């Protein structure tokens, strides 16, 4: 087989955060596959076909990419951030495992990108010691499991990065997550709300857990909850959030 599938991360939004390796893969691609707004970030050009699809058809999208690669196409599957963090790399490999045996002979590679968690953390160093990342969407897993992981992570005193905190179809989940954190933590540890991180309209807001409200987050917001050791340094240029390495 001469085709290939590259699963690439486009970073959090700023074009300067797309790695040269990913940019080179995009330049050589015959086909781009991905969620509609991510594919829209790829400039059209001769010889390139863009395949945009809805956010809830990840496995169908992955099969399509593998089928095109089996036919000799150079396919790039795009995700925002890093493709291995709550994104398309796992979906492609799920389709690969369940698909025809000959797909396994394809050249399949994952090219990392800067995930929103790391871009948001650049507001300081809130992930400077032990941390975890939790996807708050219950589209693919039950809320009971999310709540269990939240509670255990809080009890273990991890700093926590939350993906997909609140959407129009899930308006209540983040409120429940905040309640779990308050019950488990019982203190005023800092919470970072980073919206549209790395983009021109980026906004960063740090509040104590006691003052955090559900409306502070949406699907464009990365939320980072500090551990009990996380600190805020006030400076003339704004607050800096960090977790000491000795925490």
Residue 68 pLDDT: 97
Class of domain 117-242: alpha beta
% helix / strand / coil in the chain, to the nearest 5?
35, 25, 40
Residue 78 in contact with residue 32, Cβ under 8 Å?
yes
Provide the token pair at 84. 């291995």
Residue 1 pLDDT: 55
Residues of the chain falling short of pLDDT 70: 1, 247
Cβ partners under 8 Å of residue 92, min gap 6: 5, 7, 62, 65, 66, 77, 108
CATH number of 4-114: 3.40.1010.10
CA gap 105, 121 in Å, rounded? 38
At residue 3, the 3 state secondary structure works out as: coil
- Indicate where the chain has its CATH 3.40.1010.10 domain(s): 4-114
The structure's pTM equals: 0.91
Residue 225 pLDDT: 96
In tens, the pLDDT along 115-158 reads: 999 999 998 999 999 999 999 998 889 999 999 999 999 999 99
CA gap 206, 224 in Å, rounded? 9
- Indicate where the chain has its CATH 3.30.950.10 domain(s): 117-242
Give how far Cα 162 sits from Cα of 9, 71, 128, 149, Å. 19, 38, 16, 12
């Amino acid at each position: 087989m001469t085709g290939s599938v590259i699963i690439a991360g486009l970073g959090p939004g700023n074009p300067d955060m797309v790695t040269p390796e990913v940019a080179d893969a995009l330049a050589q691609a015959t086909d781009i596959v991905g969620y509609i707004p991510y594919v829209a970030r790829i400039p059209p050009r001769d010889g390139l076909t863009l395949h945009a699809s809805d956010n809830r058809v990840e496995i169908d999208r992955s099969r399509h990419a593998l089928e095109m690669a089996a036919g000799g196409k150079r396919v790039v599957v795009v995700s925002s951030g890093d493709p291995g963090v709550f994104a398309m790399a796992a979906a492609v490999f799920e389709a690969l495992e369940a698909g025809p045996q000959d797909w396994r002979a394809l050249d399949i590679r994952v090219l990392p990108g800067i995930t929103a968690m790391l871009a948001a953390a650049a507001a300081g160093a809130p992930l400077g010691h032990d941390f975890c990342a939790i996807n708050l969407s219950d589209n693919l897993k039950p809320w009971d499991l999310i709540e269990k992981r939240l509670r255990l992570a809080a009890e273990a005193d991890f700093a926590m990065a939350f993906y997909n905190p609140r959407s129009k179809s899930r308006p209540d989940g983040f409120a429940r997550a905040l309640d779990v954190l308050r019950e488990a933590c019982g203190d005023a540890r800092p919470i970072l709300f980073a919206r549209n991180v790395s983009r021109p309209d980026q906004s960063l807001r740090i509040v104590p857990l006691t003052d955090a409200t559900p409306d502070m987050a949406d699907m464009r917001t990365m939320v980072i909850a500090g551990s009990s050791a996380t600190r805020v340094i006030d400076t003339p240029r704004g607050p800096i959030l960090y977790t000491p390495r000795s925490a």
